[in-house]
Chains A and B, each alone.
Chain A
Amino acid sequence: MNPTLQKILVPTAAIVIFLVVWEFIVWAAGWPNYKMASPSDLLPAFSKHWSLFLTMGWQTLWRTVVGLIIAVIFGTGVGMIMGFSRLMRDALYPLLVGFNAIPKATVVPIVALMFVGAHDFNTVLIAFMISFFPIAVSVSIGLSTLEPEYRDILRSLGASQSTIFWKIALPKTLPEFFGALKVAVTLAFIGTNLMEIVSPHGRGLGALFDSGKTNSDYPLMFAVLIALAALGIVLYYIVVALEKVFAGWAERPQQ
């Protein structure tokens, strides 16, 4: 089979099989749609609320992306500080680990109270808080594991610290960075939705989910989950595409 075709057909077939099995299980068990909606319940839910899905989906998407961009900037900064300075790494690591260990669901109501009404800000904040950790860790590890020979060769030629960073440290860290970014993408989605669901008068797909709950519109709730999954897949593959462009050299040729 044509490899490009295979790349598209195989995952598509997997998704179709997944939907068929799901439909079959719900049908065979005879579950009502408030217990478990089936794929055939979702189409009507989507078509009934499609304009809501578009506007809410957009809300969720831009907040997630903004939160993610801030996480990349902040995480890279913290990672650079920890990667270049042993002292700062020892100082910051326990703080970061402790911060990361706090379940973000518990932080959501605190943030919601702290900045009452600033819904966009709160949502972006949580998306950022939940997703910067893997980026900071990967950048710091990438920088601190730089082979000493690189540094010696460049320094003996009279290169400055910033030349060493731009020519060697930064490109060398890219594969680790993109690995972390893939994790961060899904985490940021979780953050955005936590805030959208919990926050009163929220917006975005999380709020749409919450209104489904309030109105006992169970197929709508399931439809939101599917929409979230679809957005997650899209963002994830955007990161994969960026990785191919900027860190494609790290990929081993396939056998």
Chain B
Amino acid sequence: MYPMIKIEGVRHAYKTPSGPLPVLDGLELSLNEGGFVAVVGPSGCGKSTLTKLVSGLMKPDEGKVMLHGEVVTGPRNTVGMAFQNPVMLEWRTILQNVMLPLEIVPNKLTKAEREDRARHLLALVGLTGFEDKRPSELSGGMRQRASLCRALVHKPEVLILDEPFGALDAFTREDLWQTMHKVKENEPFTGILITHDLREAIFLADQVIVLSGRPARTQYVLDVPDTGPRDLDHLYTPEAAEMLAVLRHQIEIAQGRASAEEVAE
């Protein structure tokens, strides 16, 4: 049984006019089917590069990215993506936006079945009644919910979330965290979440990976003991506080503000 996502010894550098700029140098990640990993690290450390490698939009210079034990060599339509900027096609209704991947990924669904599928997802994230609205009529949080539906509509094996809640206000963000748990229960997926928010990481994921500063390697892996749905009170337990302290310290090391020796003491 292969893990759903396996990243081994990945190195990657961007070509710039002033020479190669290494962004990843020794990235390791292993995630079983149904797992949810959060990736945190200093800004500009190559987190978004990671999403492009997993989705097959880019190939690493060295090392292997594998899905189901198969090396990723190009885009594969078994991936769903949602970004911080929930781009929507403004000339389509919300329902039509959610159905977009089904127009591209080969499938045997009839038009009515596609619509049912999209409506089902919209209901799951609490957007019933907004199916026929235009994206410009929705708030930022609602657009992000719709964007999540679009990422899931073709039942992807892997869901990639690149700071999806980063631009939302704190209350909306917490609402969406709870929505995520509800969605995962009803529409199981294997997920990678890129985030800057440590609370978000331990609330949503069952594994948190800290990347070092650029060029990024896997610096630390934290297993979150509670998996599955949890409520916001979990963030205020002593266990959560301890996890956050460990992660914060790891981030400081990644940023170069604390040394690894200090931790050992």
Please give the residue numbers on chain A whose beta carbons come within 8 Å of chain B beta carbons, in ascending order: 147, 149-150, 152-159, 163, 167-168, 171-172, 247, 249-250, 252
Contacts and interface: CB of A to CB of B under 8 A. Distances in A.
A249 B91 contact: yes
Contacts of B91: 171-172, 247, 249-250
A152 B105 contact: no
Interface string B37-65: 00000000000000010011100000000
A168 B90 CA distance: 10
Nearest to B74: A158
A249 B105 contact: no
A154 to B, nearest CB: 7
Interface of A is mostly: helix
A147 B88 CA distance: 10
B132 to A, nearest CB: 13
Interface string B134-150: 10100000000000001
Contacts of B150: 153
B90 A150 contact: no
B101 A157 contact: yes
B78 to A, nearest CB: 9
A153 B81 contact: yes
Contacts of B57: 152, 155-156
Question: Which of B85, B89, B104, B136 has the most chain A CB atoms closer than 10 A to its own CB?
Answer: B104
Nearest to B101: A157
Contacts of B76: 158
B79 interface: yes
Contacts of A167: 89, 100, 103-104
A38 B260 CA distance: 90
Nearest to A174: B91
B89 A154 contact: no
A239 to B, nearest CB: 18
Contacts of B101: 153, 157
A152 B85 CA distance: 12
Contact of A149 (B83, B103, B134, B136): B83
B5 to A, nearest CB: 15
B104 A154 contact: yes
Interface of B: 52, 55-57, 75-77, 79, 81, 83, 85, 87, 89-91, 100-101, 103-105, 134, 136, 150, 154
A96 to B, nearest CB: 26
Contacts of B75: 155-158
Contacts of A172: 89-91
Contacts of B90: 172, 249-250
Contacts of B79: 156-157
A149 B164 CA distance: 12
A158 B105 contact: yes
B212 to A, nearest CB: 25
Contacts of B105: 157-158
Nearest to B90: A249
Contact of A152 (B81, B89, B136): B81
A171 B90 CA distance: 9
A152 B75 CA distance: 10
A172 B57 CA distance: 23
A150 to B, nearest CB: 5
A252 B105 CA distance: 32
23 contacts: A149-B83, A149-B87, A150-B87, A152-B83, A153-B81, A153-B87, A153-B101, A154-B104, A155-B57, A156-B56, A156-B77, A156-B81, A157-B77, A157-B79, A157-B104, A157-B154, A158-B75, A167-B89, A167-B100, A167-B103, A171-B91, A172-B90, A249-B134
A172 B91 CA distance: 8
Contact of B104 (A147, A158, A249, A250): A158
